[in-house]
């Protein structure tokens, strides 16, 4: 028989609709979900100099990013179900502790091979924060309210991609690439303390249904039998590919090819990330009136058009930072419409498997993106066209996935309820 836990501090009781300490919990969720993007974005301005410091090529340095994503995605398949079985707090505390240790090891790495290996370990720790943070949203909020909370969390966490490359650029110029990993380890230590002393257990469906290999496999089979779930995670994953191709390639294009300084690149990346913040804020407002499937289709359409515009500008010789940054701002506005609605739409049907549903969504977007980034890294880094082509294809594929695989889902606008 399934055991139902009583609500604790900061936990919403669905029966009463009240939330104690929910504002502080949402802030903590935002910080947790931001760990993944910040760990990816903070050291981007350092990639070209890391290649020089380790006397290696760009493709090998990019393995610190692509293999990080592989590990991040794979580890979610474990962390999500474990949090369903044993609770959110123990998984978060163990994962964040591992994250702190791996961050320090990255800072002291003496070879590119050691750095790659420790980045993989760092990913295992970081993914616990992201996948469990999303599951906590499902624990506390439902329906349109969950979309709005996820949208506001997304808007706030967009500060990570805004501030991360900017801070990383200045850290690189002032102290070198190792300083970024010291900063990440310190932030991880702060989150360990916050979870230990400020977060109550939110999982009220803890039970043996997620335990064991067969329990994990059965849970994922149930998810993939749901056509709505498959449609949402496919569309989200394709849209994320476009973002990740920009993340992995843009520093080489804009620093090595276009001649920007690391700090100038960080400013450009931050401007792009502002588009994501704007898209999430727009999503929070529109979620009262439009169903998730309409929102993700609109967002994917914006991504597709923006990617094609960027590709056309590159094809006709507009080889400038503005010709890359401006379309990517629009792409990120569309992506900001996709993410909160896509995540909420995918996870909502599975309250008892919120961790597993969040984990598979994260695994799909991270693994697929890492594969595409690895494939793109095989092309010579001589200009922006390979990156722009990949972004355009990713946006178009996301639009087609939402149009075809999730057809007919959520056609009616949700009822409005105050957050």
Token pair listed for 351: 């309250």
For the chain, the residue count is 419
Predicted TM-score (pTM) of the model is 0.67
d(CA 355, CA 217): 14
pLDDT of residue 120: 93
pLDDT of residue 186: 93
What mean pLDDT, rounded, does the chain reach? Answer: 79
**Non-local CB neighbours of 403 within 8 Å, separated by 6+ positions:** 297, 300
pLDDT of residue 218: 72
Distances in Å between the Cα of 227 and the Cα atoms of 193, 356, 361, 409 are 40, 16, 14, 9
Kindly compute the dihedral angle of the four CA atoms of residues 139, 142, 145, 147, in this order, to the nearest 10 degrees: 80
pLDDT of residue 408: 46
pLDDT of residue 263: 79
Of 76, 79, 204, whose CA–CA distance to 139 is shortest? 204
pLDDT of residue 206: 60
d(CA 408, CA 228): 9
φ/ψ of residue 85, rounded to 5 = -85, -50
**Non-local CB neighbours of 45 within 8 Å, separated by 6+ positions:** 165, 168, 169, 172, 251, 255, 262, 263, 265, 266
**Non-local CB neighbours of 250 within 8 Å, separated by 6+ positions:** 44, 265, 269, 324, 387
Is residue 265 within 8 A of residue 322, CB to CB? The reply is no
pLDDT of residue 355: 66
d(CA 204, CA 201): 8
φ/ψ of residue 50, rounded to 5 = -65, -40
Q: Which residues of the chain have pLDDT under 70?
A: 1-22, 142-144, 146-147, 151-152, 154-162, 205-216, 351-355, 380-382, 405-419
Is residue 85 within 8 A of residue 211, CB to CB? The reply is yes
pLDDT of residue 19: 37
pLDDT of residue 157: 64
pLDDT of residue 11: 42
pLDDT of residue 51: 85
Of 208, 207, 191, whose CA–CA distance to 199 is shortest? 191
The structural domains of the chain, ordered by start, are 20-404 (1.20.1250.20)
Residue with tokens 């006709």: 316
Distances in Å between the Cα of 189 and the Cα atoms of 71, 101, 103, 104 are 21, 9, 10, 11
How crowded is residue 52: how many other Cβ atoms within 10 Å of its Cβ? Answer: 9
d(CA 338, CA 279): 9
d(CA 1, CA 208): 9
d(CA 245, CA 266): 16
């Amino acid at each position: 028989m399934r055991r139902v836990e009583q609500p604790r501090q900061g936990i919403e009781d669905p029966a009463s609709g009240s939330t104690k300490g929910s504002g502080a919990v949402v802030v903590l969720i935002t910080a947790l979900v931001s760990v993944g993007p910040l760990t990816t974005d903070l050291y981007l301005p350092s990639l070209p100099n890391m290649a020089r410091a380790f006397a290696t090529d760009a493709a090998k340095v990019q393995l610190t990013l692509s293999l990080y994503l592989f590990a991040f995605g794979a580890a979610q398949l474990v962390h999500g179900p474990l949090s369903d079985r044993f609770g959110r707090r123990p998984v978060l505390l163990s994962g964040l502790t591992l994250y702190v240790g791996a961050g320090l090891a990255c800072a002291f790495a003496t070879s590119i091979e050691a750095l790659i290996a420790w980045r993989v370990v760092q990913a295992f720790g970081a993914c616990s924060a992201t996948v469990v943070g999303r599951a906590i949203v499902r624990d506390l909020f439902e329906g349109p309210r969950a979309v709005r909370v996820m949208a506001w969390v997304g808007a706030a966490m967009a500060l990570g991609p805004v501030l991360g490359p900017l801070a990383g650029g200045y850290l690189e110029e002032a102290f070198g690439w190792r300083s970024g990993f010291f900063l990440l380890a310190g932030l991880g230590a702060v989150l360990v303390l916050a979870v230990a002393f400020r977060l109550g257990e939110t999982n009220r469906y803890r039970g043996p249904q997620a335990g064991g290999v067969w329990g994990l496999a059965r849970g994922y089979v149930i998810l993939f039998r749901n056509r709505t779930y498959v449609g949402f995670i496919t569309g989200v994953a394709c849209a994320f590919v476009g973002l990740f191709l920009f993340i992995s390639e843009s520093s080489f294009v804009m620093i090595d090819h276009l001649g920007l300084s690391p700090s100038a690149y960080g400013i450009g990346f931050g401007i792009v990330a502002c588009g994501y913040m704007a898209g999430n804020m727009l999503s929070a407002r529109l979620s009262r009136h439009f169903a998730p499937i309409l929102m993700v289709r609109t967002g994917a359409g914006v991504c597709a058009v923006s990617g094609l515009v960027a590709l056309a500008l590159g094809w006709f010789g507009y080889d400038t930072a503005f010709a890359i940054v401006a379309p990517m701002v629009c792409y990120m506005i569309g992506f900001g419409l996709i993410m909160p609605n896509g995540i909420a739409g995918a996870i909502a049907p599975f309250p008892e498997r919120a961790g597993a549903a969040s984990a598979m969504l994260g695994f799909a977007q991270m693994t697929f993106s890492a594969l595409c980034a690895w494939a793109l890294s095989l092309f010579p880094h001589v200009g922006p066209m390979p990156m722009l082509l990949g972004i355009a294809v990713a946006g178009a594929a996301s639009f087609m996935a939402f149009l075809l695989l999730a057809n007919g889902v959520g056609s009616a606008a949700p009822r409005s309820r105050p957050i």
